[in-house]
Structure formats: C-alpha cells, structure tokens
A and B are shown apart, each in its own frame.
Chain A
C-alpha cells in the first residue's frame, strides 16, 4: 500500500505543473491589458511605466517562473503563517499574488473570504445527495422493474437532463415567488448567533442545496443501481443465499459492500464537478462564494484572481482523483497489486 501511495503521489507533481502551465499560458497569451481599467487621462509613457512596474514586459519563461515561485512558495508560506499565527522568514517582503481589480489585496485572502459560503452550500448539497441517492439506487436494483424502480429511474434521468439553472429558476418561481417559503437571494452577511438566525440560514440554504443536491443525486442513484445490478447475479451472492441467510443480510453484508466500492470512488471524483456546478448555482441564488468570485474576476479582467481560482479548481480535481484512487486501492486490494 505504501509503495502504491508514493507512486500515485509522485504522478500528481508533473500533472499540477502541466496544468499550471496551461492556465498561465492561456491567460498570458490572451489579449487584454491590466491598465485598460485605468482612466484614459493617464499619458502613454506613464501607462508604459505602470506596465513595466507590474513586470508585464518580461519574457514569457521569466514571467512563468516568477509566477510559479509566488504561487507554490510564497502563497503556501503565507497560508501557513495565517493558519498557525507564526512567522516564517521575512513575511513582509514576500511578494504575494495580488488582485488587479481590488487594488492589491492578496488573491488568497479574497478566496479564503469566499470559501466558507461555497463549502457550506456544496458540502451540504453533497451530503443530501448521497443520503438520498444510495438508498434509492439500492432499492431500485433489488426490486428491478418494480414500480419503485421505474419511477426512480425515470426521475433520475429527468434529474440529470434538466440543467441546474432551470431547476433553480423554477424553484425560485415556486417557493419564493408563489409560496414565499424561502428567500430568493442568499444573504451572506447573516450571522448565526441564536436559534432564529440558524433557522434563517437553513431556510436560505434550502434551495441552492436542493438544486445542486438533486442533480448530483440523480447521477449517483443511476450509478448505484447499475453497480448493484452488476453484483446481484454473482456466484458469491447465490452461495450466501444458498447458505440460508436472509435476503436483508445478503443485501447489506454481501451485495452492498461490494457495490459501494465504485460508488465511493465516484463520490470522491464528483466533488470537483460539484464545485464547478456551484458556479451556476451561486449565480442563480446570488451566493457570493468562489464561483461568484470567478465570474466577477472574469468580467473585470482580473487575471491573477482568475488564474488562482481556476488553478484551485484544477487542484481539487487532481487531489480528489488521487483520493479516489487511494480509496479504491484500500477497498479493493486487486487494484493495488495489478
């Protein structure tokens, strides 16, 4: 297991470097100028000096190298300093990746500010999705072709065919406009101080979580069902039944345990995707999380912020791919040794 883990860990380094290169290159080669937002009255020579001071005249490899140092050395060090309240080296002099749009606020600080909202919505949605999807998938598979299975399969097919931006708007229409159960806009300034504000927080999270969760649950339920169906005709299931175990025991102890191996992997692989999905959901319900930060940065042509947020999304994908592989290796020993 140790060797397997080390081998997998080593492969993510070149992947991350390659991804960072792609993201940096796309943004660097693109037209667009950070000084375009400055007033027209600034004279061209001064504009040129501003560009020079920002390091825009350096050749591409130098820019990439400097960016890599900022990104992989300076930023993690600052994060550690903030997290543990310690001093590592000369923190003041260290050059941080700063935003162009917000007059030099470090990008990581902005991201950390937005992270809790996204994590709350995304995390809650995923937990809800798993809690709904796995039981539905299991029951559909055991009672294949029953009414429950057919209704469940149909709903899950609908669930992943209707785009989240439409379900979101429909929910707003039904639950905010018509029934007035939930607020239309997510209020990030809400402080949870007492029971009442906690209930308010739950109320305003209900729709974003439901939209994201329903979509994800549809995918997971389909997958759980087909994974169960793969295992039901297996010999070991027939053996267990032949030994006289009750159906419930066979399903839970034998079929479910084996069927959940690929499901758990899919759950890990789906986490980055649900972060991307949150970009749209945040836009519908005006949650000012990570996705809203990215959209805002794109509109302002704030390249350092865009690079960093995009890289964080890529980092999530790589890390959760690794986690999925490791879980698979732990749950299914055949993978490790092949």
Chain B
C-alpha cells in the first residue's frame, strides 16, 4: 500500500516538472559514445569490414583456391587490375577472394575466442570477488597463469595437439576449436582481475547491503545486483579481447602454426606471401592492411566505450 502511494506521488511530481525527454542508461551511453569521433570512425570501418567479409564471397563468387594458371599462364603474381581487383598470388589464385575468406576465419576466431576468455574471466572474477573463501586460491591461480609465457606456450600446445584434433574433428573444425580454446584459455586473466576488482567494490555498496538485509539469496544478489553493475568493464574487455585474439591468431598463422594451408586467414596469407614480397608486394600489403584496420578500429571502439561507460563522465 505504502509503496503504491509513493509511486503515485512521484509520478505527479514528475508531471509538474518541465517536460524533458526520457533518458535511459544505454541511451546515455550511446549519446556519450557518439561524441567520441575516433570511435565512430572505428564503428564505420569495422561494420564495412564485417559486411564485406560476410557478404563479399556471396557477391564476388571466385573460388579462393582456384588457380587461374589453368586459363592463362601469365596470371601469376598480377598487380591489381580489372580482372583481378586485388591481383593474384604466386599460384595464380585471386587475392580478393582469398582475403575475403581469410577475413571470415580471422574475425570468427576473434569473436569466439573472446567469448571463451570473457566467460572464463567473468566466472573467475565474480567467484573470487564475491566469495571470500575462493578469493585467495583463485587469484593465486590467476597470477600463475599470468606468469606463463603465452606465445611460446600457444605455439607448443598447437603444435602438439594439432594432429590428434585434426584426426578427430577434421582439419578445419579441429584446428579452429584448438586455436580458439587455447587463445581463450590463455587470455582470460586480465578480465578476471578487472571483474574481481569491480565486484569487490560493488559488494560493499548500500544497495547490496539492503538486498542482503531483506533476505535476498546469494545467487539472486549475484544475478540481479552484482552482474548488471560489472557489465561495463566486461564489455570493454570483451571489445579489446576480440582485437587481442585476432592479433594472436595472425601471429600464430604468421609463424606457420595456425590453420592448414588450404584455409586462408589474414595471418596465414602474410606467412605464405612474405617470401614473394620483392615480386609482388600487394600480396602482403592487403592482408596486413585488413588486420591492422580491424585491430585499429576495434581499439578505437574500445577506447570510446571505456569513456562512454564511465559513470564519472555522466552529465
């Protein structure tokens, strides 16, 4: 009863105030994000890249593995031209088609690996921030994982388990799962630390105390009060996590230890073509440029989101 009268009076109060547009939390975030110029450029570039990579192979239907030598012996190492928009490689394969397919895999690896690391990082972070007994062992474990040399270990694990997974799930899916899982499992630690920090500070807030005092159970407190409030650091680290995962996959492929040679990824294209840099520099420039543009735009977006989600900047 008392609650009902209070909402009613609040409503009458707000109707007396001068009419003002209703603002939501995410609406505010969007408004602040719009003000960040570089982040908007990042969004545009990234959207173009994603659309190009997803829709591109449907429109530009050239087989990335087809060698044009069959039709024309002079079609190897061509510079960009009308027939071959981005040129051809040393085996006469179309560079545009290969880059489009490569982008699909690179972006897919980035997104899926990010989900793995964010899920794991959030879980560890929330558990160790919320349950005091788990805090010390989980944080020691995180420290230990941070002390592992990630690039050498990634190389080693992929080299060692590549063949057995290939036999088990086929060359493409097997390697994809392996790369994604290993990148995710070796990359969750920063997220866990950030999330733990936020959970620790939110746990002490009055509204959590209030929820505890009216008898809300721990799972409900976690779900309804803690998780929504640690969403912003998770979103920021998810964004930057995609960039980091794409970078790691490219580095692995560049060292020749990523996907097999019939699965082009941007990093793989760099690895394959780096020895032809004197004959045909375009082969290296395109995939390198696509990787750099993707990473750069994601980092810009991450910066913009960090500023937009920071409640201290709210006006």
Contacts and interface: CB of A to CB of B under 8 A. Distances in A.
Contact of B147 (A32, A295, A301, A317): A317
Nearest to A311: B149
B147 A15 contact: yes
A15 B143 contact: yes
A280 B254 contact: yes
Contacts of A318: 147
A31 B161 CA distance: 7
B255 A295 contact: yes
Nearest to B159: A298
A313 B152 contact: yes
A276 B277 CA distance: 25
Contacts of B303: 157
Interface residues of A, number: 43
B295 A26 contact: no
Contact of B251 (A23, A173, A280): A280
A165, A284, A298: most-surrounded residue (chain B CB, <10 A):
A165
A170 B149 contact: no
B296 A27 contact: no
B92 to A, nearest CB: 22
A310 B38 CA distance: 39
Given A22-B148, A177-B281, A298-B257, A165 B159 contact: no
Contacts of A310: 149, 152-153, 156
A204 interface: no
A276 B153 CA distance: 10
Given A163-B292, A173-B281, A314 B156 contact: no
A272 interface: yes
For the complex, would chain B's binding face be called helix, strand, loop or mixed by DSSP majority? Answer: helix
Interface in B122-180: 143-144, 146-153, 155-157, 159-161, 163-164
B273 to A, nearest CB: 9
Interface residues on B, range: 35 or more
B288 interface: yes
A294 B152 contact: yes
Contacts of B288: 163, 165-166, 169-170
A18 B146 CA distance: 12
B125 to A, nearest CB: 20
B24 interface: no
Interface of B: 38, 143-144, 146-153, 155-157, 159-161, 163-164, 243, 247, 250-251, 254-255, 257, 267, 270, 274, 277-278, 281, 284-285, 288-289, 291-292, 295-296, 299-300, 303
Interface of A: 15, 18-19, 22-23, 26-27, 30-32, 157-158, 160-163, 165-166, 169-170, 172-173, 177, 272, 276, 279-280, 283-284, 294-295, 298-299, 301, 306, 309-310, 313-314, 316-318, 321
Given A162-B296, A163-B295, 6 more contacts: A15-B143, A177-B281, A298-B159, A314-B148, A317-B146, A317-B149
